């Protein structure tokens, strides 16, 4: 499953990564009241369990459940340390509760890490000659995940690779995380929409801005070029810190790949020294929207641990 604050998606996936059935439904979890955590958490868990039961009534009923979730998860315990958009779930043993109610083994991991595992096993990872891949998801915010020497890496407390919150400007825009100068304020879909609106006074969706850029609208082209350039700065920092050669980029904003890529390359050329530059390769995601759900399944099957 891939669970978000407003939608959730489930798929039945075999160990070869084939999607045998899939379904999606609205969740609206991020809009639930937070004054009574017990009631809210009961609403969230029963909606998830109901969706799982529905999937179990289909042919090839799942034997195990893997869930990608937007929050910090401590190791393989399935305990949510914190979930910024669903705060009632902080320190909540989500995997244990869902497992008890459904009778199935449940594995939960950060959604960005799941996407990295999916992309490593079934997408870009199959075409590279190294065993490490950093995956970046450009959506409303920016997520990240790392497969390091063949293993998913989530850090000591589950908070590694918060790629959207690495600092790319010493003094920059204020970010939703409370800090400022974060990559997310410059290279997410939200940043592109805001930047375009500031320049033109017009509120346009990211998809519309892609269309305008393809039609050579100067402002649309420049906001995408700027997003790509800042993303390249972020990747250069990761490359400097980790000495990893391959970076895959997915999420809605990556649909503008042909417009973003040259600016990402420009930033890498500017920010990396030449020996590093030759080793750093960027790739458009091959799994696209399926990266997270495929990775969640692989983690549940323990194929990726
Ligand atoms: Zn931030």
Cα(166) to ligand 1 centroid in Å equals: 7
Cα(138) to ligand 1 centroid in Å equals: 14
Cα(82) to ligand 1 centroid in Å equals: 15
pTM for the complete prediction?
Answer: 0.94
Phi (first) and psi of residue 119, to 5 degrees = -65, -35
Structure token digits, residue 183: 């990559």
d(CA 302, CA 266): 39
Dihedral (Cα; 239, 242, 246, 252), 10-degree rounding: -70
Cα(215) to ligand 1 centroid in Å equals: 32
Question: Tens digit of pLDDT for each residue in 27-82?
Answer: 988 889 999 999 999 999 999 999 999 999 999 999 999 999 999 998 888 999 98
Cα(97) to ligand 1 centroid in Å equals: 31
- Size of the chain in residues: 305
- Give the three-class secondary structure for 69: strand
Question: Tens digit of pLDDT for each residue in 256-274?
Answer: 999 999 999 999 999 999 9
Question: Tens digit of pLDDT for each residue in 133-149?
Answer: 999 999 989 999 999 99
Cα(194) to ligand 1 centroid in Å equals: 16
Cα(212) to ligand 1 centroid in Å equals: 28
């Amino acid at each position: 499953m891939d669970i978000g604050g407003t939608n959730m998606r489930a798929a039945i996936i075999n160990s070869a990564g084939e999607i045998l059935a899939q379904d999606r439904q609205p969740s609206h979890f991020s809009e639930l009241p937070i004054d009574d955590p017990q009631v809210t958490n009961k609403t969230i868990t029963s909606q998830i369990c109901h969706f799982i039961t529905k999937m179990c009534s289909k042919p090839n009923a799942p034997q195990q459940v893997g869930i990608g979730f937007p929050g910090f998860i401590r190791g393989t315990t399935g305990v949510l340390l914190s979930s910024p958009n669903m705060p009632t779930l902080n320190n909540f043993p989500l995997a244990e509760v869902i497992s008890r109610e459904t009778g199935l083994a449940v594995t939960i991991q950060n959604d960005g890490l799941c996407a990295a595992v999916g992309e490593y096993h079934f997408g870009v990872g199959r075409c590279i000659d190294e065993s490490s891949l950093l995956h970046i998801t450009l959506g409303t915010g920016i997520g990240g995940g790392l497969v390091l020497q063949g293993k998913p890496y989530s850090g000591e407390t589950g908070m590694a690779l918060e790629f959207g919150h690495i600092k790319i400007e010493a003094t920059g825009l204020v970010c939703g995380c409370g800090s400022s100068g974060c990559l997310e304020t410059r290279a997410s879909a939200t940043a592109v929409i805001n930047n375009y609106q500031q320049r033109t006074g017009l509120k346009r969706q990211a998809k519309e801005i892609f269309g305008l850029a393809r039609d050579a609208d100067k402002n649309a082209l420049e906001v995408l070029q700027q997003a790509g350039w800042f993303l390249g700065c972020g990747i250069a920092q990761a490359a400097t810190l980790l000495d990893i050669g391959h970076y895959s980029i997915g999420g809605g904003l990556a649909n503008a790949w042909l417009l973003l890529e040259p600016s990402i390359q420009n930033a890498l050329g500017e920010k990396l020294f030449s020996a590093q530059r030759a080793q750093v390769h960027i790739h458009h995601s091959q799994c696209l929207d399926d990266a997270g759900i495929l990775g969640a399944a692989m983690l549940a099957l323990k194929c990726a641990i």
